[in-house]
Amino acid sequence: MRHSIKARFAMVFVGLMAFVLIATWCVNNWFLESFYTMDKVATLEKAYNGIDRIVTETEKKGTDIFEYFKSTYDPNRENEGPVQQMFRVLGEKYNMNIVLMDSATDQVLISNTGERDYLSSRVQGYIFGKDMPKVSILKTHDNYFIQKTYDKRSDSYYLESWGYFSDNATIFLMSTPLASIRESVDLANRFLAYVGIAALFVGSVFIYFTTKKITSPILQLANLSEKMSNLDFDAKYTGQAEDEIGVLGNSMNRLSDTLKETIGQLRTANTELQQDIEEKIKVDEMRKDFIANVSHELKTPIALIQGYAEGLTEGMAEDPESRDYYCEVIMDEANKMNKMVRQLLTLSALEAGNDAPVMDRFDLTDLVRGVITSAGILIQQKEAEVHLEDCGPVYVCADEFKIEEVVTNYLNNALNHLAGEKKIVITVEDNGEEALVTVFNTGNNIPDEDIPNLWTKFYKVDKSHTREYGGSGIGLSIVKAIMDSHRKACGVRNVEGGVEFWFTLDCYREQG
């Protein structure tokens, strides 16, 4: 492959290692010597501060410096004083030669090296400015200097710190050899080059086998996808890894099974198409039934209005009582037609989505109680007993006016189909996330085959479409459309002693 992942992995890895090695070489070459020198300078400053603190404390006590150093010096190192201990550490750990002199007597107070005479004469030369070697001042302090000095005798460089302590009476010289850091840097860079070449070779071999292990399952997935494109869904990914590639392989296996199942379903498309045609025929039949139902519902009131209107015209109702009766019949039938037309318009708007619900917060229990109160006269006429099982305020989020119409339709439907004890029980429950409203009425159970069709327009269990209940068969269709617009459920079930209609709504919860 021209742009294989394995080759790109190897190039990135080798390039990264080469960059690290080159960067390390540059840092060693350009900055190591300066860092080494700065570290030595810091050591000299730290040594000066430590000895100066002892000298200052001794002066404050009024003790002679020479006597103090002499009394604390122990050649056997069994009872080392703080000065001797500090000199020993500086000499052994940092390879630092130190000499302290009394500026008044030029007497050497203490030294940690056998070359005390050479160092004492050297510091005197610095103070009096004679026999000055080639020096480079690195730092200047109030009482002392730190410099880089070339020693002709040993043909090497030294870092030296010389001057006075805070008592202005004690002269000192601290000298530490400055190793040939440039030679060390060159040696380190050569060693780094040898190690780097070996690391690049070993790393390249390692990355080759690593990338091969990674890309092998990818190639297997590529072959699997090629077989799937040729509709061979029996091929499967067989890797056992649980990493991202394993997840991808298992996903492709599921995809293969899904495609196999889907294509199998497509092979039954002719049967499904036939079912679609039958469904279309069924819809056409429902449309014809709808037209026939509307015609039937309108035929009777129109005939009554026409008959009574003709009777009035021909003078059949001469006395006021008869005329009032004729007019009441005409008005009653006109109201029924008007109500049915309004219900059809409402249902059409709901089904078309043109009458979207206006969501608001309200007490569902209080709404149900209000519907029962409004229907008080009708309840008395039906000689019904209506009972509300009140569980307290239940706040919901819905369209209050549309839900009122749902409850009204359920209550009217229950009143129209009462039998036996003529008892209606309405419950309002808060079930946590949802509120449940049930409307139970005593009476005959609904045949099981009729239950799915109750929500269909103009559908009546009474196949003769008698006018006994005065209903048009649209109320429950409106209920279904309203609940669908709220994206909530409604239904009906036969229970012992009667029928129970129900619907649910989302409870209102305060935002925390």
3-class secondary structure per residue, 396-420: EEECHHHHHHHHHHHHHHHHHCCCC
Q: Cβ distance 84 to 70 under 8 Å?
A: no
Domains in the chain (CATH in brackets) are 5-179 (no CATH), 185-266 (no CATH), 273-352 (1.10.287.130), 360-506 (3.30.565.10)
Predicted local confidence at residue 465, as pLDDT: 46
Whole-structure pTM value = 0.40
Best CA proximity match to 408, nearest among 351, 482, 309, 467? 482
Instruction: Return the HEC string of 46-115.
Output: HHHHHHHHHHHHHHHHCCCHHHHHHHCCCCCCCCCCHHHHHHHHHHHHHCCEEEEEECCCCCEEEECCCC
Q: How far apart are CA 478 and CA 475, in angstroms?
A: 5
Instruction: State how far the alpha carbon of 463 is from the alpha carbons of 291, 301, 421, in Å.
Output: 16, 19, 25
Best CA proximity match to 221, nearest among 200, 201, 199, 245? 245
The average pLDDT across 279-305 equals: 63
Best CA proximity match to 122, nearest among 132, 113, 136, 107? 132
Residue 297 has pLDDT above 60, yes or no: no
Residue 417 has pLDDT above 60, yes or no: yes
Q: How far apart are CA 315 and CA 308, in angstroms?
A: 11
Element (H, E) at 426: strand 423-430
Share of the chain above pLDDT 70, in %: 77
Pairing mode, if any, of strands 423-430 and 385-389?
parallel
Predicted local confidence at residue 33, as pLDDT: 76
pLDDT in tens, 198-215: 877 887 787 777 777 777
Predicted local confidence at residue 452, as pLDDT: 84
pLDDT in tens, 252-263: 777 777 877 787
The average pLDDT across 238-245 equals: 68
Best CA proximity match to 368, nearest among 350, 390, 351? 390
| 386: Cβ contacts below 8 Å, ≥ 6 apart | 372, 375, 379, 411, 424, 426
pLDDT in tens, 300-317: 567 667 776 777 777 766
Note the Cα 82 to chain centre separation in Å: 63
Predicted local confidence at residue 425, as pLDDT: 94
**55 phi/psi in degrees, rounded to 5:** -60, -45
Q: How far apart are CA 73 and CA 112, in angstroms?
A: 11
- CA count, 13 A, side-chain hemisphere, 406: 31
Predicted local confidence at residue 502, as pLDDT: 93
Note the Cα 183 to chain centre separation in Å: 57
**119 phi/psi in degrees, rounded to 5:** -70, -35
Q: Cβ distance 148 to 178 under 8 Å?
A: yes
pLDDT in tens, 16-36: 878 887 887 787 777 777 887
Range from 6-10, 52-56, 150-154, 381-385 carrying the lowest mean pLDDT: 6-10
**446 phi/psi in degrees, rounded to 5:** -85, 135
Best CA proximity match to 25, nearest among 246, 252, 188, 236? 188
Angle 285-288-294 from CA coordinates, rounded to 5°: 140
The strand ranges marked E within 89-194 are: 97-102, 108-111, 135-140, 144-151, 156-164, 170-178
Predicted local confidence at residue 363, as pLDDT: 92
Q: How far apart are CA 135 and CA 147, in angstroms?
A: 6
Predicted local confidence at residue 116, as pLDDT: 80
Instruction: State how far the alpha carbon of 152 is from the alpha carbons of 131, 132, 156, in Å.
Output: 12, 12, 7
Residue 501 has pLDDT above 90, yes or no: yes
Query: Using 50, 70 and 90 to split pLDDT, how confident is the model at 467?
Result: very low
DSSP bridge pairs for 430: 435
Q: Cβ distance 170 to 192 under 8 Å?
A: no
pLDDT in tens, 110-144: 887 778 888 888 888 888 877 666 788 889 998 89
The average pLDDT across 386-396 equals: 86
Predicted local confidence at residue 366, as pLDDT: 92
Question: Six-digit token pair at 61?
Answer: 């006590």
Question: Longest Cα pair distance anywhere in the chain, in angstroms?
Answer: 159
Residue type, 84: Q
DSSP bridge pairs for 176: 159
**361 phi/psi in degrees, rounded to 5:** -100, 130
- Residue given tokens 């005329």 in the structure block: 323
Please state, as a whole number, how many other Cβ atoms lie within 10 Å of the Cβ of residue 477: 23
Q: Taking all residues of the chain, what is their mean pLDDT, rounded to a whole number?
A: 78
pLDDT in tens, 70-102: 666 655 556 666 777 788 888 888 888 888 888
Coil, helix or strand at residue 240: coil
Q: Which of 167-181, 222-236, 252-266 has the largest mean confidence?
A: 167-181
